[in-house]
A and B are shown apart, each in its own frame.
Chain A
Amino acid sequence: MGAAIETHQLTKSYKSKSGGVVNVVDALDLYVEEGEIFGFLGPNGAGKTTTIKMLLNIIYATSGEAKIYGQDVDDMSVHRYISYLPEKPYYYEHMTGMELLRFYGSLFGMSKGDPKYLQLLNRVGLGRDLNKTLNQYSKGMQQRVGLAQCLLNDPKLLFLDEPTGGLDPVAHSEIRDLILGFRDERKTVFISSHELSEVERICDRVAIINRGKIEKQGRLEDLLQGGRIELIANGVSESFSHGLNLPDTTVSYANQRLILDMPDDQDVNALIDSVRTQGGTIVSVIPRRKRLEDLFVETVRNVRSTESAAEAGQL
């Protein structure tokens, strides 16, 4: 597998009002493998959209390089096999769904009568609404027609900026299914989103960017290692709970009920055995997988606290 997107020390700087230089994207090294669904996460103002715009050559990098399928992003031929769905886009509202696709199709040199328009509208579930003007479309329908225009050139790589933002649960699930369908077609999908549960469900790998820098990047299963286990036992003595010496574990005891919240690398079997030896009974053992939201919040908070500490040190 080759790289669909590869950036090396990609930087975008702007002059600040005070006369200094602000790096909105700071020496970004990004690697997105061909055929994967990649989540690009970060708080507001982290540099996600700026990065996407640089990859689309809509804005220009101050330094560093960015390649898409091995070609420089300023090579216009790249645009033949990529697509972009911006966050809350506006489409020409006087057009019908079919006319909109014809408009975007003509940008690729497609003819008016190309059967692909109808196929795509059917694929995104707008086959019955193709003659409605876009101002009659709901938010979900607009997003679906947006995805349809993204698929006109059968792209190898799709950039989706908040594809499910502001949609109701049904539209959410429909868009998710469409994106998952792209995986089966071996398309590479680059998603920027705040909907972390959604990203966790569909992405293979993610990167977390904060203040223009990549803080974490990798496979979800690797990044989300280090979940926790909750064990609840009845009928054990308080002295038993005091005698437990488990690292990184929260122990609660009340009315002969012991509740342990511990890392998932603990020897749970040995613990269960010792509870039973003490005459206790196991009520439940619940593994709690680390969620992407936990990782995201933890990462962003760590960066902020490090920065605060550094600022305090300077004062």
Chain B
Amino acid sequence: MKPIIAIASATVGEAIRRKVLLVILFVGVLFVGFAPGLSVLSARQERSVLIGMTLGIIQLTSAVIAIVLTVYLLPNEIERRTIYTILCKPVERWQFLLGKYFGAVSALGVMMALMTGVLIIVFAIQQGEYSVDGLAILARAPAMYFIQMSLLAAVAICFSTFVTPLVNFFLSGGLYLVGSLFATFFETMQSNPSTPAFAKGFATLINTILPNFSLFNVQNPIINPGQQIQSEGAYYLTATGYGVVYIAAMLILGMLVFQKREV
């Protein structure tokens, strides 16, 4: 366990100093901070627009950070030869990969927490939202985004064991888009009785294999208090369980490939 923690903390140290990530984070924080100024365009539903916009900014910024951070994790270590000084010590490759992953997720968590903190402050000041419950509801979506981004990071780190960073960037980004936007479409195809059998099979296959990122998009009930998730607690628990299992599967696959890979 000690090597994994050491590698993870070194990865956090590196990640929070990477200029490109800090620039993306800065832009994200800036938008979250100044979003209330933009929302005058929809004065009638100012609160809903503001919540939707700021959560969207947090989600988009986090996704970009998650991909940019993880696609370079392994290639940089190999290119700069740091990995050799680590793997020649009694460190298994799976420990190295896990350490890198947990480090990346921790750094991501810090950055997302910062954006969420700004979001809460903005709401407290702009909307006069001071109740703990109200602010906790706001923080619920970023919390689910964190699991979503941890899953995205696991996908990207798994791919980084066998594809180049550029290919990985588009592959992971593409999967994120498909898994976020088309999961509902494939679910509808599966459940629709008029869908032909082969299309149903295809939809089932895609929905089973591809990570379902849309499970973590829980912003709608927060934006529109009229909407509600049925059995909310069970839903969050199932989504979290799905995320953890998928992350574990991605990491195991990554470890198996990395074990065979020559660095």
A interface list, Cβ under 8 A from B: 53, 56-60, 76-77, 79-80, 82-92, 94-95, 103-104, 106-109, 146, 149, 153, 159
Instruction: Give A91 Cβ to nearest chain B Cβ, in Å.
Output: 7
A154 to B10, CA, bound (A): 23
Q: Which residue of A lies closest to B91 (CB)?
A: A107
Q: Which residue of B lies closest to A90 (CB)?
A: B80
Residue B114 lies at the interface, judged by CB distance under 8 Å to chain A: no
Question: C-beta contact mask, B170-188 vs A, less than 8 Å → 1, else 0?
Answer: 0000000000000000000
Residue B19 lies at the interface, judged by CB distance under 8 Å to chain A: no
B6 and A84 contacting across the interface, CB-CB below 8 Å? no
B10 and A95 contacting across the interface, CB-CB below 8 Å? yes
B262 and A89 contacting across the interface, CB-CB below 8 Å? no
Q: Which residue of B lies closest to A110 (CB)?
A: B2
Instruction: Give B188 Cβ to nearest chain A Cβ, in Å.
Output: 46
Question: C-beta contact mask, B8-46 vs A, less than 8 Å → 1, else 0?
Answer: 001001100100000000000000000000000000000
Residue B88 lies at the interface, judged by CB distance under 8 Å to chain A: yes
Instruction: Give A13 Cβ to nearest chain B Cβ, in Å.
Output: 12
B interface list, Cβ under 8 A from A: 2-3, 5-7, 10, 13-14, 17, 80-82, 84-92, 262-263
Q: Which A residues are CB-close (under 8 A) to B88?
A: 56, 58, 79, 82-84, 159
Instruction: Give A192 Cβ to nearest chain B Cβ, in Å.
Output: 13
Q: Which residue of B lies closest to A59 (CB)?
A: B262
Q: Which residue of B lies closest to A50 (CB)?
A: B262
Q: Which A residues are CB-close (under 8 A) to B80?
A: 89-90
Choose from B6, B13, B263 the contact partner of A106 (Cβ within 8 Å): B6
Instruction: Give B77 Cβ to nearest chain A Cβ, in Å.
Output: 9
Task: Tell me whether A108 and B85 are in contact in the complex, defined as CB-CB below 8 angstroms, given that A60-B262, A95-B13, A103-B10 are known contacts.
Answer: no
B2 and A109 contacting across the interface, CB-CB below 8 Å? yes
Give the number of A-B contacts (CB < 8 Å).
76
8 pairs of residues in contact across A and B, judged by CB atoms under 8 Å: A58-B262, A77-B90, A79-B88, A79-B90, A89-B82, A89-B85, A106-B3, A107-B6
Q: Which residue of B lies closest to A105 (CB)?
A: B6
Choose from A60, A76, A89 the contact partner of B92 (Cβ within 8 Å): A76
A77 to B90, CA, bound (A): 7
Q: Which of A57, A77, A86, A159 has the most CB of B within 10 A?
A: A86
A146 to B84, CA, bound (A): 12
A178 to B136, CA, bound (A): 59
A58 and B84 contacting across the interface, CB-CB below 8 Å? yes
A120 to B90, CA, bound (A): 20
Instruction: Give B69 Cβ to nearest chain A Cβ, in Å.
Output: 16
B90 and A108 contacting across the interface, CB-CB below 8 Å? yes
B2 and A94 contacting across the interface, CB-CB below 8 Å? no
Other A-B contacts than A53-B84, A106-B6, 5 sampled, CB-CB below 8 A, are A56-B84, A56-B87, A84-B88, A90-B80, A149-B85
Q: Which A residues are CB-close (under 8 A) to B262?
A: 53, 58-60
Instruction: Give B19 Cβ to nearest chain A Cβ, in Å.
Output: 12
A92 and B82 contacting across the interface, CB-CB below 8 Å? yes
Q: Which of B81, B89, B90, B263 has the most CB of A within 10 A?
A: B89
Choose from A59, A92, A95, A104 the contact partner of B89 (Cβ within 8 Å): A104
B90 and A86 contacting across the interface, CB-CB below 8 Å? no
B5 and A106 contacting across the interface, CB-CB below 8 Å? yes
A56 to B7, CA, bound (A): 20
Choose from B14, B17, B90 the contact partner of A80 (Cβ within 8 Å): B90
Q: Which A residues are CB-close (under 8 A) to B89?
A: 79, 104, 107-108, 153
Task: Tell me whether A104 and B85 are in contact in the complex, defined as CB-CB below 8 angstroms, given that A76-B92, A79-B90 are known contacts.
Answer: yes
Across the A-B interface, give the 10 residue pairs with the lowest CB-CB distance, nearest first.
A90-B80, A106-B6, A59-B262, A84-B88, A107-B89, A79-B90, A86-B81, A86-B84, A56-B88, A89-B81
